[in-house]
Amino acid sequence: MTTEQAYFLTVALINLVLAFSGTRIKDPEGKQKSILFFIVAFSANFISWFLYVFDINVFLKIVSVILSSVFIWGMVVFSYKRCEHPLPLTLISAIFLINCTALGYFTYAGQLYKALHVSALFVPLAFCLIGYLFLKTKKHRNPSDIILAYACFFMALVVATRSLLLQFSPELFSATIVSSQVIWPAFSVISGVFALLSFTEEVQSKLQKESNTDQLTGLANRRSMDTILKKEWARADRYQRPLALVMLDVDFFKNYNDHYGHQAGDDRLKEVAQLLLQSGQRAGDLAVRYGGEEFLLILPDTDAATAMHLAKKICASIAELEISHQYSLLGILTLSAGIAEVSKSNYRNISELLRAADSALYLAKENGRNQAQLAPSNTE
């Protein structure tokens, strides 16, 4: 085997490994199936390079250039599916057929320079499409998506530049032949690896979100609360800024649950959570499911008066809420709320602040429920 054949075999095997790696990836739940097109694209690229390991004739050269087009436009279709963007199937199919026809004709005619010019038209178009989809249309971009996009833009520039050099500076074009033999395999590795890593990062992001989110209500859970509250406590202490907590509890929820069933109770907890999210919170505020039927609002840069106003507004909104469940009108639930505020370090730690909010909530319960109470100022 010659050095050139060994080179083609190595590049082919790289693409085969990437195609096989794609079989080990599953689309995140609820996403369009995209990985199949990735596997098809890299499998086609594997065969395209592998054919050159042998003494290739004109027919196999035509097959090779068509398979290279399958790789390029297969990655375009993969990108559309991966980014959940509507696929213009008719347009993409037409461009693909024109690309294959032109490459096949010029390869058959032995006009390789014209074949390179055809590639310089279609390859940058495809790669710019891929880059645009991952940068501008993918809803939840991750670092791998961005690297893949810029790798495609870079290759589009390289292919277009080589075509221009071929036309206007043939001597410079000849000098780029060796570099292109490095750039194309490198691009295969970068595009394949980071396309697959994108799936892994998306799953990791989903798991991280789930670990910090209450599954029933979609609010932050206690784990997330601990992290955010520590950060906001430190910030309030350092800059002497106010920090308010609003602890809320659904009144008589156990009786409601026993009478109407756990499903009805869960539905009402979801409604309370939605109302908390829609209660005009600012970007830095956090709504937490504290436990059971208890909720907590963390309100940075908020004084007691503002927190009290918000708590009363939430309690009033819940009291007015009626929800039809199946065929019966369920009873109206109410909330009680307790407010505690950090001001000039009047609480020594987070535990004291939480206890103060809980004590204020207990006071609201004792005074008849469906109301908000403010914790007395800690002067110690």
- Can you say whether the dihedral through the CA atoms of 55, 61, 64, 68 is positive or negative? positive
Q: What six digits make up the tokens of 151?
A: 């790798």
The answer to whether 293 is a known catalytic residue is yes
What is the full DSSP assignment across 89-153? HHHHHHHHHHHHHHHHHHHHTT-HHHHHHHHHHHHHHHHHHHHHIIIII-SS--HHHHHHHHHHH
3-state class of 286 per DSSP? Answer: strand
Contact 300, 243 (CB under 8 A): yes
Closest CA to 62 of 37, 7, 99, 93: 99
8 A C-beta contact, residue 191 and residue 151: yes
- Tell me the DSSP string of 242-270: -EEEEEEEETTHHHHHHHH-HHHHHHHHH
The rounded distance, in Å, linking the Cα atoms of 76 and 127 is: 8
Strand 372-374 and strand 335-342: the pairing is parallel
Question: Catalytic one among 293, 294, 320, 341?
Answer: 293
Q: How many CB atoms lie within 10 A of CB 60?
A: 13
H or E element in which residue 297 lies: strand 294-300
Please give the positions annotated as active site: 293
